[in-house]
Amino acid sequence: MKFQKCIFHDGINLTVRRGARHFKNEDTVFNTVDSNAVGFMKIRTYKHIRFTDLANDDLGDCHDEWCRTIGGLKKAMETFYDDFDVREIVTLIYFTFKPWTRTLSD
């Protein structure tokens, strides 16, 4: 899974992705935009919802603090998806993150 901002906090994190995506609860490598792996994620759960049905309370665990409000998330979605429409279905992905402790350059 790729992220523009690799900002994660302890405990449950949330990312919102366009469309109805399905995931398994298994470890997945995190990647940044430039494909440099930074750690592992464990998907805890996910749910599908129409963007217009989201409430600010749904976004409290967003990994990026700028996306913890409907307005901030809408702006981010429009940045990442040129033709994003607020009537679309999105997937809320709840996960924990474990950073790598070493890099290949260490």
- The DSSP element (H or E) to which 75 belongs, if any, is helix 70-80
Read off the tokens for 18. Answer: 């366009």
Q: Is 2 exposed, middle or buried (0-12, 13-18, 19+ CB in 10 A)?
A: exposed
- Would you say residue 93 has pLDDT above 70? yes
pLDDT tens digits, 4-23: 888 898 899 999 999 998 88
Residue 42 pairs in a beta bridge with 27, 96
pLDDT tens digits, 37-49: 788 888 999 999 9
Q: What is the mean pLDDT of residues 18-35?
A: 78
pLDDT of residue 54: 97
- The model's pTM: 0.85
**Alpha-carbon radius of gyration of the chain:** 14
In order of their start, the domains of the chain are: 2-99 (3.10.400.10)
How far is residue 102's CA from residue 106's CA, in Å, rounded to a whole number? 6
